[in-house]
Amino acid sequence: MFPFDVILFDVGGVLLTNGWDKGERAAAAAYFHLDWSAFEARHSAAYPAWERGETQLKDYLDAVVFNEPRRFSQDDFYGYMLNQSKLLPNGALGILEELAASDKYMLGALNNEARETNEFRFASFGLRGYFKVALSSCYLGLRKPEPAIFKRALDILGRPAERILFIDDRAENVEGAQAAGIRAIRFEGADALRRELVTLGVI
């Protein structure tokens, strides 16, 4: 019997770079000559609803960037956002591919991401070819590390918490999963993850 039935991956910081984290936003603010502090304040107010799927891309951009006339278009800005998504150096995509090829586990995503960027990233990097389930914040209306998202994941998966393994790069998300009874690993590079998975008997 394999040690787990389901293995869930975070995406940004584990498989890919973070698509729209503070570093990417700071770079965008500099590139488009936006006032950083005002831009970041508007982002903090508008982003949670977009990441939960309660609003759409246009709503977010209208509130955060196009609250006043700009010399660039929404397509220009969104294109810049999408270009921030890259394969993560020393990321876990190779391990995900290996696990998918073994066909031993149900593989899925448990990630925080707005719908438009989530679907772009899944499609552009072929993640749907590996994932059987996408427990993304934009689909569930919940965000990590809220306890409710882990409960919802367990309800959807229909597996005992101890039969699920979750991999995430943020300590608060690992702790949230562990509080729900899920076995969780903090991602600190592909080599360290591989050693831990060997120890657990996953690979």
**pLDDT by residue (tens digit) across 175-187?**
999 999 999 999 9
- Of the candidate CATH numbers 3.40.605.10, 1.10.20.10, 3.40.50.1000, 3.40.50.11540, the domain formed by 6-18+87-200 belongs to 3.40.50.1000
Mean pLDDT of the chain: 98
* Structural domain 22-83, CATH architecture: Orthogonal Bundle (1.10)
CB 118 within 8 A of CB 56: no
Is 83 buried (19+), middle (13-18) or exposed (0-12) by CB count in 10 A?
Answer: exposed
Single-letter residue type at 12: G
Whole-angstrom distance, CA of residue 111 vs CA of residue 92: 15
Tokens of 116: 């438009």
User: What is the reported pLDDT for 96?
Assistant: 98
Model's pTM, two decimal places?
0.96
Q: What is the phi/psi pair of residue 9, to 5°?
A: -115, 135
Tens-digit pLDDT profile for residues 147-161: 999 999 999 999 999
Q: Which helix (H) or strand (E) holds 78?
A: helix 74-83
Write the pLDDT tens digit of every residue in 83-141.
999 999 999 999 999 999 999 999 999 999 999 999 999 999 999 999 999 999 999 99
Name the residue ranges covered by the structural domains of the chain.
6-18+87-200, 22-83
What's the residue count for the chain? 203
Tell me how far apart the terminal alpha carbons of the chain are, to the nearest angstrom: 13
Give the pLDDT confidence of 10-46 residue by residue, as tens digits.
Answer: 999 999 999 999 999 999 999 999 999 999 999 999 9
- Identify the band that residue 1 occupies on the pLDDT scale cut at 50, 70 and 90: confident
